[in-house]
Amino acid sequence: MWVSATLSALDRLRAREAAESARELFLLATQMYFFYLVVNRAGVCTSNNSKTDINCPPSPPLGAHSEPGRPVGRFPAGRWSQRPSRRENPSSSGTQSACWRMTGSNEFKLNQPPEDGISSVKFSPNTSQFLLVSSWDTSVRLYDVPANSMRLKYQHTGAVLDCAFYDPTHAWSGGLDHQLKMHDLNTDQENLVGTHDAPIRCVEYCPEVNVMVTGSWDQTVKLWDPRTPCNAGTFSQPEKVYTLSVSGDRLIVGTAGRRVLVWDLRNMGYVQQRRESSLKYQTRCIRAFPNKQGYVLSSIEGRVAVEYLDPSPEVQKKKYAFKCHRLKENNIEQIYPVNAISFHNIHNTFATGGSDGFVNIWDPFNKKRLCQFHRYPTSIASLAFSNDGTTLAIASSYMYEMDDTEHPEDGIFIRQVTDAETKPKSPCT
């Protein structure tokens, strides 16, 4: 039974159990794949359209800092309380960036983090000062980043799976209680805008059409007029909605069954494009290029695909996929889900975060990895670049890949990034 609007003490206990069951179901596929996605072959990047490997620097071995007592083969790294030490630069090769393992004063951890898993982090649309964070602890929090303080917190009656800014003073959020809320961040007043028939997995805002978009496990996408606010339409999807992204006036939806649908938000009467993911396993995240030409899709099997929206054969030849978030230990390659993607709005490069605890920055045009940061305490659950591209919010949060076991505390890291880490390099000759 899902949580309801009014809860007795017993109802709250039952709701908590239901939320945990939903969490287990949501991550079941990931747990199953960890048992057999262990292979004895190396390689980081491959292309769908070329026999030549993409020249991406490989992930270095873990031999210098293996965690004592951690079984080799299928267990995700970073789950134990002992945190691995910083690694040395694995190579002096010219293909590897000088920022491979940058750490130090350019990064700090936010105070007063959520008390349970972090589901989403989003920067304010016009400043890097404010960060919105949703969590499985049923809260949505607003942080003042430079002051390193929590400015505001409001609650749902169940775990919150996503949140988004409508404008600098209004936040929208949804989750396991099926409810879509709008909260005024100035007055601390909230409004129940509407509901879905199942948990709300995704919440996004499209400024071009001035509409809020929600995707749900009830196999629908709903549009909401933020001015009223009210429902502006309900549109059936073939499966449960796992992820979605807005690209100009187009909406890209990723569902169960590896399906991808492209909609025109100005005319939702029909689906513009129906696609199947080029990756073999469950879709985890989709994010659109800021230049509106395509999108990046990640899966639970340590792969990322770069896709283009123009259906012409000439443009479709440009698409490719590559391996990432894989760690080699004792000649065994461990494969991790790629949980999060965030684009740099100026350079059109993007960051990925995986259950291996690493964040990588990629140049999709030259098919290069620009940078890899130090290892974070546990899985990367969400990423967000600020609108001006100067700041990256990193949610390090255990995603229950190995069930309810001891793990490092969840945290949000704020990193100041530079052009050296995020700007595309000149093509190699």
Higher-scoring residue by pLDDT: 322, 75: 322
- Please return the burial class of 81, using the count of CB atoms within 10 Å of its CB with bins 0-12, 13-18 and 19+: exposed
Question: 171 with 123: CB under 8 angstroms?
Answer: no
Nearest CA to 224 among 208, 203, 240, 245? 203
**30 — phi, psi (to 5°)?**
-60, -45
Beta strand extents in 168-301 (DSSP E only): 170-175, 179-184, 189-195, 200-206, 211-216, 220-225, 230-236, 241-247, 250-255, 259-264, 267-276, 283-288, 294-299
pLDDT confidence tier of residue 27, bands split at 50, 70 and 90: low
Name which of 60-69, 234-243, 344-353, 414-423 the model is least confident about: 60-69
What is this structure's pTM?
Answer: 0.78
- How many CA atoms are closer than 13 Å to the CA of 118, on its beta-carbon side? 30
pLDDT confidence tier of residue 184, bands split at 50, 70 and 90: very high
How far apart, in whole angstroms, are the C-alpha atoms of residue 47 and residue 335? 18
Question: 332 with 40: CB under 8 angstroms?
Answer: yes
**Cβ contacts of 20-25, under 8 Å, gap ≥ 24:** 22/159, 22/176, 22/199, 23/117, 23/136, 23/159, 23/400, 24/400, 24/403
DSSP state of 48: S
pLDDT beyond 80 at 347: yes
Which ranges in 266-308 belong to alpha helices (H)?
none
Higher-scoring residue by pLDDT: 319, 76: 319
pLDDT in tens, 293-314: 999 999 999 999 999 999 999 9
pLDDT confidence tier of residue 43, bands split at 50, 70 and 90: very low
Question: 252 with 288: CB under 8 angstroms?
Answer: yes
Q: How much is the pLDDT for 77?
A: 33
Higher-scoring residue by pLDDT: 210, 21: 210
- Which tokens belong to 302? 């340590």
- Which tokens belong to 89? 């630069």
Q: How much is the pLDDT for 403?
A: 83
Task: Tell me the average pLDDT of the chain.
Answer: 82
Question: 225 with 232: CB under 8 angstroms?
Answer: yes
Task: With H, G, I as helix, E, B as strand and everything else as coil, classify residue 217.
Answer: coil
pLDDT confidence tier of residue 104, bands split at 50, 70 and 90: low
H/E run at residue 164: strand 160-167
SS3 content of the chain, % helix, strand, coil (to 5): 10, 40, 50
How far apart, in whole angstroms, are the C-alpha atoms of residue 382 and residue 301? 17
Nearest CA to 228 among 141, 166, 153, 186? 166
